[in-house]
Structure 1
Amino acid sequence: MVDEAVDGVARWDPVLHFIDTLDVEGARARASKVDLGLPLAGVPFLIKARTSPQSPIITRLLAAGAIPLGTSTRARPGAVSQTFGWNGTDYTRNPWDLSRSPGGSSAGAAAAVAAGVVPIATGGDSAGSLRIPASFCGVVGFKGTAGRVPRVDGRSLAGLTIGGFIGSSLEDVAMATSLVSGPDRLDPSALPYWPEPVLGAGPWRVAYRSALSPLAADPAVDAVVRASLAEAAGVVVREASFDWLPVDEAWLAFRDLEAGQAVAVSEAVRVRTLNSTALADLFSEVDVLVTPTTPTVAHGYDQHEENIIVGDLCWGFNVTGHPAVSVPVGLVDGLPVGAQVVAPHGRDDVALSVAALLMKPLALPGR
């Protein structure tokens, strides 16, 4: 499996530029000694660049027998919009269209998974950095409930950033998340161990919103997500309204807090509380909220700053900490469209169950 992945890197990375660092000999050495009884024995994966080797998400994957090939690209530090990847000399490209971005910041992860090089790759999601690239590349991106995956530096001050996975299937992503879940000596306040869920068949009550702000989703994107809901067995779409405050300033305040800056967060906390309460009221009437993951399909690979709005439907659920998953549901002009499924706190299994009914696996031409 490692040799096949290395061959995939040789074929695809010169075109897509998703590798940040590569350690072929180290991967082969690990593979030659792996315990075949482990749950992820021999499964190759990529680590998001600049992830600490001591991170529980990495140490637990290694303990489960997974084999790291190296690190995947992410956005340059300091970029205003993180929806791109950079390998030091070139932009990471979307395998569906080389003129487009794979999203970000977990850019290389999504490009490598979409190209079939690895089945899973790690990432982190502070404002959609797992879900946006998954949507742009037609794969799965899962952000669990805040605290689902332990962190190397313990509980986050603001709770924005959640570790997680991009993968080719919901089952792979759920299994990997289960294996790395639970408290760790570095993060004893993480949520309890999360058993791999059994996905339910429904019927599920769904509320749909095409927008969470004055920014409207592209009508073609909206139509694809609505069609996936209409065609899904076990899904009942209900009319449900809820009040949603803009999260722009709240997210920025929490971001600055996580960076160690002295900032006033009382207004951000108020927005978080009111939006969380609005979602709690909504989830008393329905099981999940579904939105497009992004309001548009993938933008140009070097046009991230002009397209900062692509996270508009994602980052509010980093502020509130709800579980959210993006799955592919169709194409617009040959580019993937993702649907985002959001569930109550702790009901990651419900989000995944509904996502499984909506998901339409996409075949990359020429793969």
Structure 2
Amino acid sequence: MVSEALDGVARWDPVLHFIDSLDAEGALARARSVDLGLPLAGVPFLIKARTPVGSPIVTRLIAAGAIPLGTSTRARPDAVSQTFGWNGSEYTRNPWDLSRSSGGSSAGAAAAVAAGVVPLATGGDSAGSLRIPASFCGVVGLKGTAGRVPRADGRSLAGLTIGGFIGTSVEDVALATSLVSGPDRLDPGALPRWPVPSIVGLGPWRVAYRSALSSLACDPPVDAVVRASLGVPGVVVQDAALDWLPVESAWLTLRDLDAGLAVEPSALRAAVRVRSHNNTAMADLFSSVDALVTPTTPRVAHGYDQHEQNIVVGDLSWGFNVTGHPAVSVPVGLVDGLPVGAQVVAPHGREDVALAVAARIVRAISVPG
């Protein structure tokens, strides 16, 4: 499997530019000595660039038998918008259309998984950085409940950033999340270990649908594809009120807090009020439905070098970093030959519900050729 993945890197990285660094010899050496009794024995994966050394999301995958090939691209740190990847000289491209971005900031992860090079890649999500690239590339991205995946430097001040996975299937990201979950000496405040849930055959599930969570409208063709995905057995769409406040100002304040920047006390109090209000609104929503479904992004993938003009793509995702709810993006169809993702959001701690609903509506799509 590792040799095949390295062949895939050799074939596709010169086209897609998803590799930040590669350790082919190290990967092959690990593969030759892997314990075949481990749950991920020999499974190749990529690590998101600039992931801290010793991060539990990496060390626990390796302990489960997975083989790191190297690191995948992400956006330049000084970019206003992070919805692109950069290997130092080239933008990461979308396997569906080389003129388009693979999303970000976990850009290389999604491109490599969509191209069939690896079945799994790590990432981090502060405003949709797992879900947006998964949506743009037609694969699966899971952001768990805040604290689900332990971090090398513990819980951030504002708790926006959550580690997670991009993978080929709902089952793959669920298994990987379970294997890396639970408190760690580097993050003893992480949530308890999360067993792999049963997600097949459950339901029926009651869901609410929203095409927008702010004044920004979703493109009608994207909205139509996601709505159509809900017309499957076991999913019942219900009307339900959601008293949601816009999160842009709150997210920006909390981002600055996480970055250690000076934050005005009044701005922080306002951000906390938005977080508290939206958490209560979601609790009220979940008293009548099991999950909320939205498009993952209001647009399909933008041009690979147009990210600064397309910062709106996170409008449907970043609110759930503010509140900390689990959310998963799954592919549900195409618009103009480009993937469309549906985002399933569930109550805190109920990744099992989000994944079970996602497993009902997901549509497997493969890059042509």
State the shift of 1:53 in Å. 2.1
Q: 2:281 aligns with which of 278, 281, 297?
A: 278
SS where residue 98 of structure 1 aligns? Answer: strand
Say if 2:102 is the partner of 1:102.
yes
Q: CA deviation digits over 1:168-213, x for unaligned, max 9?
A: 0111100000000000000000000000010152110000000000
Q: CA deviation digits over 1:57-100, x for unaligned, max 9?
A: 01101100100000000000110000000000000000000000
User: Residue 249 of structure 2 contacts residue 271 of structure 2 at CA under 8 Å; is this kept in 1?
Assistant: yes
Q: Over aligned residues, Cα RMSD in angstroms?
A: 0.6
Which residue number in structure 2 is paired with residue 196 of structure 1?
A: 196
Structure 2: runs of 5+ lacking an equivalent? none
SS where residue 341 of structure 2 aligns? Answer: strand
Q: CA deviation digits over 1:295-342, x for unaligned, max 9?
A: 010000000000000000000000000000000000000000000000
Give the whole-Å Cα distance in 2 for the aligned partners of 1:201 and 1:152: 35
Give the whole-Å Cα distance in 1 for the aligned partners of 2:165 and 2:103: 15
User: Residue 103 of structure 1 contacts residue 136 of structure 1 at CA under 8 Å; is this kept in 2?
Assistant: yes
The letter for the 2-side match of 1:314 is S
Q: CA deviation digits over 1:254-290, x for unaligned, max 9?
A: 1111111231311100000000000000000000000
SS where residue 99 of structure 1 aligns? Answer: strand
- Aligned-pair identity in percent equals 81
Say if 2:35 is the partner of 1:32.
no
Give the whole-Å Cα distance in 2 for the aligned partners of 1:38 and 1:203: 34
SS where residue 105 of structure 1 aligns? Answer: coil
Which residue number in structure 2 is paired with residue 46 of structure 1?
A: 46
SS where residue 340 of structure 2 aligns? Answer: strand
Which residue number in structure 1 is paired with residue 215 of structure 2?
A: 214
TM-score normalised to structure 2 length: 0.98
Which residue number in structure 2 is paired with residue 223 of structure 1?
A: 224
The letter for the 1-side match of 2:207 is V
User: Residue 27 of structure 1 contacts residue 68 of structure 1 at CA under 8 Å; is this kept in 2?
Assistant: yes
State the shift of 1:364 in Å. 1.1
SS where residue 294 of structure 2 aligns? Answer: strand
Q: How does 1:52-131 map to 2 (within 5 A)?
A: 52-131=52-131
Say if 2:14 is the partner of 1:14.
yes
User: Residue 61 of structure 2 contacts residue 179 of structure 2 at CA under 8 Å; is this kept in 1?
Assistant: yes
The letter for the 1-side match of 2:316 is L
The letter for the 1-side match of 2:36 is L
Say if 2:364 is the partner of 1:361.
yes
Which residue number in structure 1 is paired with residue 184 of structure 2?
A: 184
The letter for the 2-side match of 1:271 is V
Say if 2:306 is the partner of 1:303.
yes
Give the whole-Å Cα distance in 2 for the aligned partners of 1:185 and 1:136: 35
Deviating above 2 A after TM superposition, structure 1's stretches of 4 or more consecutive aligned residues are none
Which residue number in structure 1 is paired with residue 355 of structure 2?
A: 352
User: Residue 22 of structure 1 contacts residue 71 of structure 1 at CA under 8 Å; is this kept in 2?
Assistant: yes
User: Residue 324 of structure 1 contacts residue 343 of structure 1 at CA under 8 Å; is this kept in 2?
Assistant: yes
Say if 2:326 is the partner of 1:323.
yes
Structure 1: runs of 5+ lacking an equivalent? none
Which residue number in structure 2 is paired with residue 266 of structure 1?
A: 269
The letter for the 2-side match of 1:45 is F
User: Residue 53 of structure 1 contacts residue 59 of structure 1 at CA under 8 Å; is this kept in 2?
Assistant: no
The letter for the 1-side match of 2:109 is A
Give the whole-Å Cα distance in 1 for the aligned partners of 2:271 and 2:320: 13
User: Residue 294 of structure 1 contacts residue 312 of structure 1 at CA under 8 Å; is this kept in 2?
Assistant: yes
Deviating more after overlay: 237-246 vs 93-102: 237-246
Say if 2:174 is the partner of 1:174.
yes
State the shift of 1:156 in Å. 1.4
SS where residue 208 of structure 2 aligns? Answer: strand
User: Residue 114 of structure 2 contacts residue 366 of structure 2 at CA under 8 Å; is this kept in 1?
Assistant: no
Give the whole-Å Cα distance in 2 for the aligned partners of 1:134 and 1:239: 28
State the shift of 1:357 in Å. 0.3
TM-score normalised to structure 1 length: 0.99
